[in-house]
Amino acid sequence: MRYALRKIATMFITLFFVSVIVFFSFSLIPGSPAMNKLGTEATPESIKALEHEMGLDRPVAERYGKWLLGVVRGDFGKSYSYNQPVTKLIADKLGATLLLSVMAIAITILVSIPLGIFMARKSDTKLDIFLSGFNQLIMAVPSFFSGILITLIFGVVLRVFVPGGYISYKTSLIRCIGYLVFPAFAIALPKISMVSKLLKDTVMAESGKDYVRTAYSRGNRTKSVFYKHVLFNALIPVITFLGMAFADIIAGSIIVEQVFSVPGMGRILLSSISGRDYPVIEAIILLLAFFVVLSNLIVDLLYHKFDPRINV
């Protein structure tokens, strides 16, 4: 319990540092939200007036303090571009991104675990050599590229889905899932090859261990040894890997969202960065950082549970 508390405390400290870095780095880069909003017709006076209205004429430290106080109370401020509270704006987008990420991880698990087992059982056959080579190839293809290929093949040639025809999960959850399968698959592809390779390797390593030999010598059938002992032990590192992969997938979905025109967090993050919509940028980056540290925390706690000797 104390271990967990300590971990959670570290998590908040990490988030605090992330927020400081984001806040101050954006005050260093060129471009001002007021100038961006007013465009080329801005006069120095109108920029000054709008900056005052936005509170941007205050020192950075003061602005940060004010912002942090708001965040503690759950108020992330108001978007410059949309005149809406940031929390409301992001809540809409978070749904799409989370759904996409959950689907990607689900596809990863469903495909990679049977595939890994299959490859381990067929190890050193021609089929395994082929699959391993293919795996290496897939691992090297970035998601946005496989995303473009999927769009072209399934969207333009086969017309299984309408590229860009995303339907909000609020309108129809089923049709939304139907659309998101394709980007989710693009995100899942490299993860599938990583997980199946990892699983194959750990299964092979476990199979050679003493307890397996003992189990066989006690007269167990191959299948039950494999599923009851080998697989169970081999899955532990895989599960921890999946935990970390989830954070990676959420962050990675930002790029794939662009390819499939999914209006998730990625889109709004990119547009807020170019529009210098500071409140939105800060909230999204903090949220992404939160997912990363959260999944790390879960992985750490799982490690600790499986093997109490570990105190990372």
Partner 1 sequence: MKIFKKAFSLLLVLTTLAVALCGCGGDKTGDSSSHITIGIPQDLEESLDPHKAVGAGTKEILFNIYEGLVKADKDGNLIPAVASNYEISEDGLTYTFTLREGVKFHDGSTVTAEDVLYSIERNADDGTGTALIPAFLNIADYKADGNNIVITLATPDPDFLQYMIMAIIPASNTDPDTNAIGTGPYKFVSRAAQENVILEAFDDYWGEKAYIKNVTLKICSSADTITTEMLGGSIDLFARITTAQAMQLENSDFTILEGTMNLVQAMYLNNGVAPFDDVRVRQALCYAVDPDAIIDLAFDGKGTPIGSSMFPAFSKYYLDELNDVYNVDYEKAKALLAEAGYPDGFTFTIRVPSNYQPHIDTAQVIVEQLKNIGVTAEIELIEWESWLSDVYSGRDFQATVIGVDASRMTARALLERFGSEAHNNFINFADERYDENLALALASVDDAKQVEYYKECERILTEDAANVYIQDLAELVAIRNSYTGYEFYPIYVMDIAKIKPVK
CA within 13 Å, CB half, 254: 14
CB contact at 8 A, 241 and 264: no
Closest CB 268 distance from partner 1, rounded Å: 5
Closest CB 17 distance from partner 1, rounded Å: 26
Task: Pick between residue 30 and residue 208 the one whose CB is nearest to partner 1.
Answer: 30
Q: For residue 181, give both structure tokens.
A: 């399968």
Task: Pick between residue 15 and residue 105 the one whose CB is nearest to partner 1.
Answer: 105
Q: Residues 6 or more apart from 251 whose CB is under 8 A from it?
A: 288, 291, 292
Task: Pick between residue 166 and residue 303 the one whose CB is nearest to partner 1.
Answer: 166
CB contact at 8 A, 78 and 280: no
Task: Pick between residue 88 and residue 209 the one whose CB is nearest to partner 1.
Answer: 88
Closest CB 43 distance from partner 1, rounded Å: 5
Closest CB 227 distance from partner 1, rounded Å: 8
State how far the Cα of 150 lies from the Cα of 116, in Å rounded to an integer: 24
Closest CB 244 distance from partner 1, rounded Å: 18
Task: Pick between residue 161 and residue 246 the one whose CB is nearest to partner 1.
Answer: 161
State how far the Cα of 181 lies from the Cα of 185, in Å rounded to an integer: 6
Task: Pick between residue 104 and residue 131 the one whose CB is nearest to partner 1.
Answer: 104
Task: Pick between residue 63 and residue 267 the one whose CB is nearest to partner 1.
Answer: 267
Closest CA to 253 of 288, 289, 299, 295: 288
Closest CB 181 distance from partner 1, rounded Å: 5
Closest CB 65 distance from partner 1, rounded Å: 25
State how far the Cα of 162 lies from the Cα of 305, in Å rounded to an integer: 46
Interacting residues toward partner 1 by CB under 8 A: 29-32, 35-47, 49, 79, 81-84, 89, 92-93, 103, 106-107, 109-110, 113, 148, 151-152, 155-156, 159-165, 167-168, 174-175, 177-182, 228, 232, 235, 258-261, 263, 267-268, 270-271, 274-277
In the chain, helix, strand, coil percent, each to 5? 80, 0, 20
**Phi, psi (rounded to 5 degrees) for 252:** -70, -25
CB contact at 8 A, 26 and 36: no
State how far the Cα of 105 lies from the Cα of 306, in Å rounded to an integer: 22
Q: For residue 303, give both structure tokens.
A: 């490690």
